[in-house]
Amino acid sequence: MRTMIILATATALAGCAGKGLYQWGGYDEHLYAAYKEPAKAVVLRQKLQEQVQASEKAGQKVAPGLYAEIGTLYLQAGERQQALGWYQKEQQAWPESRTLMGALIQNLQRLEPASRTPNPQEAAQ
Domain edges within the chain: 23-115
Candidates 99, 105, 20, 22; CA nearest to 64 is 22
Please check whether residue 83 is in contact with residue 108, taking contact to mean a CB–CB distance below 8 angstroms.
Answer: yes
pTM (whole model) above 0.85: no
CATH architecture group of domain 23-115: Alpha Horseshoe (1.25)
Give the number of other CB atoms < 10 A from CB of residue 86: 25
pLDDT in tens for each of the 125 residues of the chain? 654 444 555 555 444 444 677 777 777 777 777 778 888 889 999 999 999 999 999 999 999 999 999 999 999 999 999 999 999 999 999 999 999 999 999 999 998 765 554 444 544 44
Query: Within 13 Å, how many C-alpha atoms sit on residue 110's CB side?
Result: 6
